[in-house]
Homo-oligomer: A and B are copies of this chain.
Amino acid sequence: LTAPIIEIPIEPRFYETDALGHINNVSIAGWMEMGRTQLIRHLATTGAQVPPESWVVVSLSIEFVAETFYGEDVLLSVTDLQLGNTSMTIHCELRQSGRVTVRCKSVLVYRDPSTGDKKPLPQEIRARFPQ
């Protein structure tokens, strides 16, 4: 059992609901972007000076485990991080009232922003998150 890497409290916004009365899954895709951007910022503040434009999302898998509701705070956790050679896989989770409502896995590729070519992950990230 390990602690989440980062946790982000989210207060659902009314326009994020839909006519079925709960949070629409497109809004949830937006929250998953928050998990990714805050993780990238977190990597930057732990020594690894990684410009955000170096990361490109190549895939996104979201599992909607239960409905997420308006009017109740949500906790978004980055629960795990797997480092590849030129990519990383971020695992996120949403909880509401202690119950998991969403699980998400995003794969990001690290690249040279000027050429668009893939690059090996910075050594500082590997040092910080030994696998």
If A19-B18, A58-B63 touch, whether A26 touches B29 (CB-CB below 8 Å) is yes
Known A20-B53, A26-B26, A53-B20; judge A33-B15 contact (CB<8 A).
yes
B-contact 0/1 string along A11-36, CB 8 Å cutoff: 00111011111101111011001100
Residues of A21-73 contacting chain B, CB below 8 A: 21-22, 24-27, 29-30, 33-34, 37, 53, 56-64, 70
The secondary structure that dominates the A interface is mixed
Nearest-CB residue, chain B, relative to A69: B19
- The answer on a CB contact under 8 Å between A18 and B20 is no
* Residues in B whose Cβ lies below 8 Å from that of A37: 13-14
Complex contact B57–A60 (CB within 8 A): no
CB distance from A49 to the nearest CB of B (A): 15
| A33 & B13 in contact (Cβ 8 Å cutoff) | yes
CA–CA, A18 to B53, complex, Å?
12
Residues in chain B near residue A20, CB distance under 8 A: 53
A30's contact among B15, B21, B63, by CB below 8 Å, is which?
Answer: B15
